[in-house]
Amino acid sequence: MISVIMPVYNGEKYLRQSIESVIQQTYKDWELIIVNDCSTDNSRDIMQSYADADSRIRIVDNSSNLKLPRSLNAGFREARGKYLTWTSDDNLYKPNALEELSGYLDYNFEIGLVYSDMDVVDDSLNFIGEQSLESDRLLYADCVGASFMYRMKVIDKVGEYEPNMFLVEDYDYWIRISKQFKVGHLNKNLYIYRVHNNSLTGTRKKEINTQLYKLRKKHLDYLIMGVNDKYKEKLFLEMIAQNINECENLISRFWTKNEEMNKYSCVKMFNNIDNNKKIVLFGAGIIANRAITYFGKERIECIIDNSKDRIGTKLHGIDIVSLDWYINDMSRDRDSQVVIAVGNNYVLAIAEQLKNNGISEFCWFKAVENCVKETI
């Protein structure tokens, strides 16, 4: 048997579709345990109508609003299946999802957790794209997503979901599983993940960012030791962006060789923003748009970019110039500060470019924007 847990809080808009996607599975030996987290809309009546019609569907009513991690734990305590999974009240399984995921575990005894690819859709189920991420990304980012299954013995070894990891409770659980079991990836799209304005991931991004930092802090030694080399620098920069105040500690934790520590020493100034100076952005892409909104257009003196196609144009009416022009132009305001407005893949190269051209005062917009005031 497969136990499917479905936590619900005011999910009436999509709940019927989600329950129907379980009922329509080609694999029939399942139980659906719906955990009602004190919904105040019509969700309770909807789930009851399905429980009355199908004995495989049971309802657990929380006595108070417990939030997602505790609701998951309440559901799994009632589970009787050999294999376990959970789904949200706004997402859908494809008809063969349970059959494919359980079949993978049946034939791969060494795997404790398996996950699959999934379709990403909008509010009206229009296709947006797909998520397909290899398991070597797990210690850098949540590659498991929302389509997964694991063995009952995982709970015996790993325990329950942690309430203090709310908003990242699933990613925390996957990391804890990976410490004791192998993780498998099934390269098939078996799930439909809905993106909409009222989802947790859509409405609580700041809180998720803070919780993600907390999670990485909790597992830091394991992440540093186990992360794939191609993701180690990315993980380091993500954590720097989340908490620049801990840069000295993070540098010494991530990097042990002198040449490595020298390479990353520039991050110490990434949050060194002077609120009395005008801003010169370096980078004219998506992050620059966020920076303009954050600082205000009137504070931006100009934008530097390395792209010949962008130099000489404008972004929101602000001139885009080359670094050479910025250095040599005598008419500009000398009391300005460069803010690097690019992503992780380019920030260190641009920092080095600035230093090589005699510019020692700069910071990184992502560190200014995302920094959480917490220590390791």
| Residue 86 β-bridge partners | 5
**Alpha helix stretches (DSSP H) within the chain:** 15-23, 43-53, 67-76, 97-107, 152-158, 169-178, 200-203, 205-218, 220-226, 229-242, 247-254, 258-263, 286-295, 323-328, 344-356, 365-370
| pTM recorded for the entire structure | 0.85
User: Are both 89 and 46 inside the same structural domain?
Assistant: yes
Interior angle at CA 125, CA 121 and CA 131, nearest 5: 20
User: Do 84 and 135 lie in a common domain?
Assistant: yes
How large is the average pLDDT for residues 78-84?
Answer: 98
| Average pLDDT score over the chain | 92
Domains identified in the chain, total number:
2
Judge whether 203 lies within some domain.
Answer: no
Instruction: Check pLDDT > 90 for residue 125.
Output: yes
Residue 366 CB partners (closer than 8 Å, separation 6+): 241, 287, 343, 344, 347
Q: Domain holding 281: CATH number?
A: 3.40.50.20
Within a domain: 176: yes
pLDDT category at 67 given cuts 50, 70, 90 is very high
Q: For residue 62, what pLDDT band results from cuts at 50, 70 and 90?
A: very high
Q: Kindly state the average pLDDT of the residues 185-208.
A: 86
Domain for residue 217, yes or no? no
Same domain as 151, residue 99: yes
Mean pLDDT of 166-171: 96
- Rounded Cα distance, 207 and 200, in Å: 10
Q: pLDDT at residue 330 above 60?
A: no
Reported confidence tier of residue 367, pLDDT bands at 50, 70, 90 = confident
Residue 332 scores a pLDDT above 70: no
Q: What is the pLDDT of residue 315?
A: 97
Q: What is the DSSP string of 29-49?
A: -EEEEEEE----SSHHHHHHH
In the predicted structure, residue 78 carries a pLDDT above the cut 70: yes
**Per-residue pLDDT at 375 exceeds 60:** no
State phi, psi for 361 to the nearest 5 degrees: -105, 105
Reduced DSSP (H G I as helix, E B as strand, rest coil) percent helix, strand, coil of the chain, to 5 = 45, 20, 35
> Is 223 among the domain residues?
no
Degrees, nearest 5: CA angle 110-193-162: 60
Identify whether 205 is part of a domain.
Answer: no
Asked if the model's pLDDT at residue 45 lies above 90, the reply is yes
Q: Is 126 exposed, middle or buried (0-12, 13-18, 19+ CB in 10 A)?
A: exposed
What secondary structure letter does DSSP report for 129?
E
Residue 206 resides in a domain: no
Query: Kind and range of the H or E element at 56?
Result: none
Is residue 299 included in any domain, yes or no?
yes
Q: Name every residue whose Cβ is closer than 8 Å to that of residue 156 and which is 6 or more positions away in sequence.
A: none
The domain boundary residue, chosen from 160, 183, 198:
198
Nearest to 275 by CA among 339, 216, 325: 339
CA quadruple 368, 343, 128, 18: dihedral sign? negative
Kindly report the CA angle at 45 between 44 and 51, in degrees rounded to 5?
Answer: 90
CA dihedral sign, ordered 159, 163, 164, 167: positive
What's the pLDDT at 269? 78
Same domain flag for 183 and 296: no
Q: What is the C-alpha radius of gyration for the chain, rounded to an integer number of angstroms?
A: 24
- The residue that leads in pLDDT, 199 or 87, is 87
Domain that holds residue 315: 228-376
pLDDT at 256: 86
Cβ atoms of 167 and 71 closer than 8 Å: no
